[in-house]
Amino acid sequence: MLIALWAVLGLVFGSFGTVAAYRIPKRESLATPSRSYCPNCSTTIRAAQNIPVVSFLVQRGKCRHCGERISPRYPLTELITAVLFALSAWRFGFSTELFVYPAFFWTLVVLSVIDLEHRLLPNRVVYPLFLIGWAALAIAAFAASEPERLYDALLGMAVFGGFFFLIAFLFPAGMGGGDVKLSFVLGTFLGYAGGIGFVVVGMFLAFLLGGVVGIAIMVMKGGDRKTMVPFGPFLATGAAIATFWGQGLIDLYLDRI
């Protein structure tokens, strides 16, 4: 029941995430207009036409007013957010972390969508995520009488963020500033979730996924090693996988050496 409830909440927040990912790069308010609108004809979308995933399917991926095609990234964003919320319920159970980590993943989804479309990880999203994230994790740690987990978070932040900062310092053209800033956030949450092992797993998966997809894009589009591929989504994906299955991957690796 908890997993199902959080999945439904994920669909709702995923719908809001699509609004945030659209408006933030344009520096539009998230509060006004309060209702979603069609980017093509600016018609306000009624509540009955804004049901996550369902409305997209019923309307066959088109705006009911102007007939303009709706990008599939909208229902995909809603579904991915729902899956992440459901997995959070499975991973953390009913605890303080159950409210902290879904918010963390929701923000990662929004950042990933923005990065894919605009090649940008906005400071006005990353900085609050870092500050609010630390405050939320501190509350969670003391609520669980486990303040020592904050040391793991601090170590994770230093390792993940420090490694990416070093790469950006040595190879400025190969790593964006937004990626470096986000890495400090990811290291914090991964360190809190499972210590330095989760941090290493998250870093490895980010590079692995980024490398594989980057090569695939170069092959399909005929690019070269200078082809720009947004790295934020791979950082987010690596962090999510490490959060949920980090210990299993560590155990699998140790069993094979």
150 & 71 share domain: no
- Answer yes or no: do 56 and 27 share one domain: yes
* Residue at which a domain ends, from 57, 92, 127: 92
**Residue showing tokens 């959070």:** 88
Shared-domain flag, residues 50 and 122: no
Residue 191 amino acid letter:
G
| Closest among 212, 211, 197 to 245, alpha carbons compared | 197
**What domain range is 60 assigned to?**
1-92
Q: Are residues 22 and 80 in the same domain?
A: yes
Task: State how many domains the chain has.
Answer: 2
**124 and 71 belong to one structural domain:** no
Taking only the tens of pLDDT, the chain with its 257 residues reads: 999 999 999 999 999 999 999 999 988 888 777 667 777 676 777 766 678 888 788 877 787 777 778 788 899 999 999 999 999 999 999 999 999 999 999 999 999 999 999 999 999 999 999 999 999 999 999 999 999 999 999 999 999 999 999 988 888 777 788 999 999 999 999 999 999 999 999 999 999 998 888 788 777 776 655 667 789 999 999 999 999 999 999 999 888 87
Q: Assess whether 153 and 56 both reside in one domain.
A: no
Q: What is the pTM of this model?
A: 0.91
Q: Do 246 and 123 belong to one domain?
A: yes
